[in-house]
Structure 1
């Protein structure tokens, strides 16, 4: 199977690709269905070579047709096959009907699905629903999905796990939990964010030999982030060539947040990092990490003294919501408009809370909310954010300008023109301080000359990659945000 492509598509765009392949390239729909079935059966055979009995769950559409192709191939390979149909087979039509008839001609067995009936199989093929799902599953379809999940039998999903929205990655009531998802032609964007990570298993792609000319006719504005080499360093360079990051935050009890952000910036290569924090934190922080230049800042006037030297600013880690925090945030917003309208700003954590009440636009900042913070920025609920993360990150970008980063499994990075998805990272990152490190990493990349868009994309990618390496060492429980520092140095090398 080919590696995963970079471009991602919506369900509608994928249907357009299918249409062009059939109408303009002369590839019969049944031929595409046959290729899809062969791709799934090939993966099934490779992953579960000892499997003897295959259960195929089929619905009514072309996804079901793919399932009947898989069932026929399994029969021809000498396997025992049972197809569980959610609909009466007389209702099938088009290519799906043809695929069923071919299976029937092989004396294939079809049973109407009965919710109380135990599923006996070595592997289940999920061919219930494809990309056309637009409402929550109910009735017999939901019962079939619940039965598959309750069986604890390995599952391979055809194109999309049934019940998962192919556009958003949201679960529509319930969804099949697959061990592997084999997806075709257009790589669906919903497989890479939202709840998809818990339902897709390993994602395998097959383009079904559709010519490149087909893809050229359906432009996509969504893509996966891949790693990019950072610009090389000249032998005669010095710290002044790699920018000066200023991190503002660290109210009472939260000094660790600014230190994590500052060290994150250093670890990815920022030339200099200053910290503006509570006076009582400054000397202690400098003892623990002497490379950080720590300044005690008690008022807006004192903050002004350290702003000029910075080439990029991070505000928010450990900032809090006190009068001190609000004074510094307002002073910063006013100052960057006076000092330098182009001075980049990364806004995180409590600074996002303050921003939500300000409704300011700035083309020169990066906002890095998690779903709860995103909900506050848009004045909606967190579940509404998670229902369509693509729509949410685009709305944040449109409302506040600049670059918006919506954190979570499948972090999204939105510019005015497109949305990128990063799939590095793992559940071990569900611990305090990880977001602080990310804001510092992004700032460190901006300081070294990357554009805001590229710094956000590569910052998210590298941050997640460092976490993946950390969990290889520590496991997915108990990883600390500070554990990423060593691995950040590795992944940017």
Structure 2
């Protein structure tokens, strides 16, 4: 079992998941990652997620965001592809009157999410989904939630987008406001084993309560955290849970791994978004590994099952981000920001997989 391995053994084992750079591959085969998020107030989160996936090694990194956010996110980097396909209630293109907007805003978010809103449905059907569906079809993996916000039209759009992703059976990572959506309507991803949830302590507690799972426990009680996370995974139909905290608890059904890699002494807003991008690239590579996209020298190598490969990919992503954060903190101390972590993602990746230099983890 993977959980009986040491950290060095896990990282050594994960080397076979790293997609090689072969002249026979064409652009896109090492990952076409799509991040859906970003609104007027939050533009950094989708950038960090998409940028992280590219720095780890994805070929193509896309962002679908709200129209106002698009030029801002574009200004951060020319390397990402930005698609302004989402609308919030205040966008003049959707032609809602002030009274209609005010009426919608009076509805509590929790009630609005579960209610039928013909006007919003019409906007989503005509203006949002046609463009997004085309991009979803040619994407390998989707991240939803970073910087999404809680605008009613945006959240209603996200519900429909998640349903489309499920129809296409694409791997789906949920973070931030997408996790809020799941806490209100857990059925949205229930029994979808291709889903990966990345809750922090607060988000985890919110989802646990919605599932009527007891979550009042001491954070130092590791076995209790594992048990509750396992229960959540099963109750949601065997989705993968990456519970963030002092240690990442990575669970799918009965299987779990614990990432205890030393990270930064400082926490910064955006580090979770960096993690979702790293997860996206490595989970996609683990799926390519299981699809035999490249020839794997089986001599002296242990063949991993799909679930083992996916768990190991999550573990490795967590380890890379933690070590990159540690390196950034060593250089910048209290002034460290998420962009500084990104400076060290490539170097950390090389330490793990190119140089055979295993850091003291």
Give the structure-2-normalised TM-score. Answer: 0.70
For the pair 1:395 / 2:268, whether they are aligned, the reply is: no
What is the aligned partner in structure 2 of residue 472 from structure 1?
Answer: 330
Could you tell me which residue of structure 1 aligns to residue 114 of structure 2?
A: none
CA separation of 1:365/1:220 partners in 2, compared to 1, >3 Å: closer, same or farther? closer
2: CA distance, partners of 1:322 / 1:396? 27
| Distance change in 2, residues 1:368/1:224 (3 Å) | farther
Aligned to 1:423: 260
Query: 1:384 is matched with which residue?
Result: 217
Distance 2:207 2:155 in 1: 17
Deviations 1:298-354 (A, max 9, x none): 24324323222211000011112221331222112210232x22x100011110110
User: What is the distance in 2 between the residues matched to 1:324 and 1:266?
Assistant: 29
Between Structure 1 and Structure 2, whose CA radius of gyration is higher?
Answer: 1
Q: In structure 2, what is the equivalent of residue 233 of structure 1?
A: 21
Q: Which residue does 1:352 correspond to in 2? A: 179
- Give the structure 2 partner of residue 172 of structure 1: none
Q: Relative to structure 1, is the Cα distance of residues 417 and 296 closer, same or farther in structure 2, using a 3 angstrom cutoff?
A: same
Equivalent residue runs for 1:144-155 within 5 Å: none
Does the 8 Å contact 2:259/2:319 carry over to 1? yes
Q: How many residues align?
A: 272
Query: Which residue is equivalent to 1:414?
Result: 251
Name the counterpart of 2:48: 260
> CA–CA distance in 2 between the matches of 1:454 and 1:395?
20
Q: Which residue of 2 aligns with 1:369?
A: 199
SS at match of 1:492: helix
Question: Aligned ranges for residues 46-125 of structure 1 at < 5 Å?
Answer: none
Pick closer, same or farther for the CA change 1:332–1:398 going to 2, 3 Å: same
Q: Distance in 2 between matches of 1:344 and 1:367?
A: 11
Kept after mapping to 2: 8 A contact 1:245/1:312? yes
Larger RCO (CA under 8 A, 6+ residues apart): 2
Offset at residue 271 of structure 1 (A) = 0.8
Alignment partner of 2:162 out of 328, 333, 349: 333
| Residue of structure 2 aligned with 1:242, choices 16, 27, 30 | 30
1:320 aligns with: 149
Question: Would the aligned equivalents of 2:34 and 2:63 in 1 still touch at CA under 8 Å?
Answer: yes
Whose helix fraction is larger, Structure 1's or Structure 2's? 2
Taking the aligned partners of 1:241 and 1:481, their CA distance within structure 2 comes to: 28
For the aligned residue pairs, the C-alpha RMSD in angstroms reads: 2.2
Question: Residues 371 and 382 of structure 1 are in contact (CA less than 8 Å); yes or no, is this contact kept in structure 2?
Answer: no
Q: Corresponding residue for 1:291? A: 79
State the alpha-carbon separation in 2 of the partners of residues 296 and 428 from structure 1: 36
Q: Per the alignment, do residues 220 and 319 of structure 1 end up closer, same or farther by CA in structure 2, a change over 3 Å counting? A: closer
4+ aligned runs moved over 4 Å, structure 1: 219-225, 380-383
Q: Call closer, same or farther: CA 1:445–1:331 in 2, change over 3 Å.
A: same
Corresponding residue number in structure 1 for 2:285: 448
In the superposition, relative to structure 1, how do residues 486 and 238 fare at CA in structure 2: closer, same or farther (>3 Å)? farther
DSSP-derived class of the 2:64 partner: strand
Task: Specify which of 320, 325, 331 is matched with residue 462 of structure 1.
Answer: 320
Q: Per-residue displacement from partner, 1:79-137 (whole Å, max 9, x unpaired)?
A: xxxxxxxxxxxxxxxxxxxxxxxxxxxxxxxxxxxxxxxxxxxxxxxxxxxxxxxxxxx
Residue 378 (structure 1) shift: 0.7
